[in-house]
């Protein structure tokens, strides 16, 4: 028994074809929007690729770009099919291709749903890549004279200013690395010598942060050196006073920014997916309604359209049986090929 059977006369078939034609062109615009969102996300990730550990984060924007292009192609073709469905002569050339086309549309909808889920689930992978990338970026902050790393200081400074953050997890991360280049250290100074000798790795570590960590909204002039030394500053207590530095770490700030971006893109893609599913269902009804016309010479006659020719369980059983037959035929062909090779070996 057919699933969700609906009766159509010529007027309903024409309205369905016209409605689907219009919806397909709206879906082409939606595909352009998805393509643009993917391109925008890719550009945003490329801007900060220096503080990201790998290229896995580009999977989502690349997928959005691909799905946007496919959406434009498929929906343009579907619009043409719906337009030609009003003319029996033109529809005849599309008739043998409609079933394979609908199967491809179902696969496309599944792929689009997976991409939508990836938009919502990318946070964990992005968090790890940002953590490692920012750690390495801070490590190379001082290498202003090293080819390939001389830009890192500018990148980190602009990042901290733009996102109002400091360090990886917080400003204290700068205490654990040497962020001042040896070129700007006076090695004849006793203080510099003592600091280097007191460190096992021979690094010059200070309880200070780069200028880009300073919060311009603070009424007090920025204190970026000797942050833990209360006697170095007048009326200052680093444990109780609110520091005039950015409190948030850059990993959390970037993660929040990209997460909000991808959640918004995921919501838009989900709406587009629902629209695409509606179009696919409509195309299926149009296909079965036109197939069910008993007398092609009488366009006024009624026909029946359905979503599935059988029930869901019967359709699933038929699908499994077809897979088994396909597997058996491949096995027989393989055995036949082995049998043909045996006499040659003899």
pLDDT reading at 261 higher than 50: yes
DSSP string spanning 52-92? Answer: -S-SGGGHHHHHHHHHHHHHHHHHHHHHHHHHHTTSHHHHH
Name the band, by pLDDT with cuts 50, 70 and 90, for residue 330: low
- Average pLDDT, stretch 237-251? 79
| The pLDDT of residue 336 | 58
Mean predicted lDDT score pLDDT of the chain: 83
Q: Are 153 and 205 in contact (CB under 8 A)?
A: no
State phi, psi for 122 to the nearest 5 degrees: -80, -10
Q: Is the pLDDT of residue 310 over 90?
A: no
Return the minimum-mean-pLDDT range out of 55-59, 159-163, 322-326: 322-326
Instruction: Give backbone dihedrals phi and psi of 181, rounded to 5 degrees, phi first.
Output: -65, 145
Q: Between residues 262 and 321, which one has the greater pLDDT?
A: 262
pLDDT value at 342 more than 60:
no
CA 276 → CA 13, 279, 282, distances in Å?
A: 20, 5, 10
What does the radius of gyration of the chain's CA atoms come to, in whole angstroms? Answer: 32
HSE of 10 in the Cβ direction (CA atoms, 13 Å)? 11
pLDDT, residue 343, reads 53
Cα–Cα distance measured from residue 310 to residue 319, given in angstroms and rounded to the nearest whole number? 11
76-112 pLDDT tens trace: 988 888 888 777 777 778 777 888 888 899 999 999 9
> φ, ψ for residue 282 (rounded to 5)?
-60, -40
pLDDT digits (tens, 9 = 90+) for 181-223: 888 888 888 888 888 888 767 888 888 999 999 988 888 888 8
DSSP per-residue string spanning 146-204: STTTTTHHHHHHHHHHHHT--SSSSGGGGGGS--S-GGG--TTSHHHHHHHHTSTT---
d(CA 20, CA 79): 7
State pLDDT tens for residues 135-145: 888 999 998 88
Where would I find the H helices in the chain?
10-47, 59-84, 88-94, 98-121, 123-139, 152-163, 190-197, 250-291, 312-345
Q: What is the dihedral of CA 31, 33, 35, 36, to 10 degrees?
A: 170
**Percent of the chain scoring above 70 in pLDDT:** 81
What is the separation of C-alpha 136 from the centre of its chain, rounded to a whole number of angstroms?
24
3-state secondary structure of 308: strand
pLDDT at residue 346 in the model: 43
Q: What is the mean pLDDT of residues 34-42?
A: 94
Mean pLDDT of 249-260: 92
| Predicted pLDDT of residue 67 | 95
Confidence of residue 297 (pLDDT cuts 50, 70, 90): low
Q: Which tokens go with 11?
A: 């007027």
Say how far apart CA 204 and CA 175 lie, in whole Å. 10
The β-bridge partners of 305 are 6
Length of the chain counted residue by residue: 346
For residue 111, how many other CB atoms are within 10 A of its CB?
15
Q: pLDDT confidence of 65, banded at 50, 70, 90?
A: very high
**Contact present, 128 and 166 (Cβ < 8 Å):** no
Q: What sign does the CA torsion over 237, 240, 241, 246 have?
A: positive
Residue with tokens 């409605």: 19
- By mean pLDDT, which of 113-127, 151-165, 212-226, 325-339 is the weakest? 325-339
Whether 129 contacts 57, CB under 8 Å: yes
308 phi and psi, to 5 degrees? -130, 140
What's the angle, vertex CA 19, arms to CA 18 and CA 23, rounded to 5?
120
């Amino acid at each position: 028994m057919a699933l969700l059977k609906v009766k159509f006369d010529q007027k309903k078939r024409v309205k369905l074809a016209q409605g689907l034609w219009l919806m397909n062109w709206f879906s082409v615009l939606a595909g352009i929007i998805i393509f643009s969102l993917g391109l925008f996300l890719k550009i945003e990730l490329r801007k900060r690729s220096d503080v990201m550990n790998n290229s896995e984060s580009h999977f989502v924007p690349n997928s959005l770009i691909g799905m946007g292009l496919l959406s434009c192609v498929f929906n343009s073709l579907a619009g043409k099919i719906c337009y030609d469905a009003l003319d029996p002569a033109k529809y005849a050339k599309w008739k043998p291709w409609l079933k394979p086309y609908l199967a491809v549309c179902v696969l496309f909808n599944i792929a689009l749903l997976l991409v939508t889920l990836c938009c919502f689930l990318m946070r964990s992978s992005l968090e790890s890549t940002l953590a490692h990338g920012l750690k390495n970026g801070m490590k190379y902050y001082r290498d202003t004279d090293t080819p390939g790393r001389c830009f890192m200081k500018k990148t980190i400074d602009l990042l901290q200013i733009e996102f109002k953050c400091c360090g990886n997890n917080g400003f204290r991360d700068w205490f654990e690395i040497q962020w001042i280049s040896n070129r700007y250290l006076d090695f004849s100074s006793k203080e510099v010598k003592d600091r280097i000798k007191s460190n096992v790795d021979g690094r010059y570590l200070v309880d200070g942060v780069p200028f880009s960590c300073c919060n311009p909204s603070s009424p007090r002039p920025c204190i970026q050196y000797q942050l833990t030394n209360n006697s170095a500053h007048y009326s200052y207590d680093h444990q109780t006073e609110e520091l005039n530095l950015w409190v948030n770490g850059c990993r959390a700030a970037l993660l929040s920014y990209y997460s909000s971006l991808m959640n918004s893109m995921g919501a838009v893609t989900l709406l587009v997916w629902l629209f695409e599913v509606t179009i696919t269902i409509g195309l299926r009804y149009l296909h079965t309604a036109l197939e069910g016309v008993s007398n092609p010479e009488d366009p006024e006659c009624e026909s029946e359209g359905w979503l599935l020719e059988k029930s869901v369980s019967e359709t699933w059983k038929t699908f499994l049986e077809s897979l088994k037959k396909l597997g058996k035929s491949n096995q027989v062909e393989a055995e036949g090929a082995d049998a043909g090779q045996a006499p040659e070996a003899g």
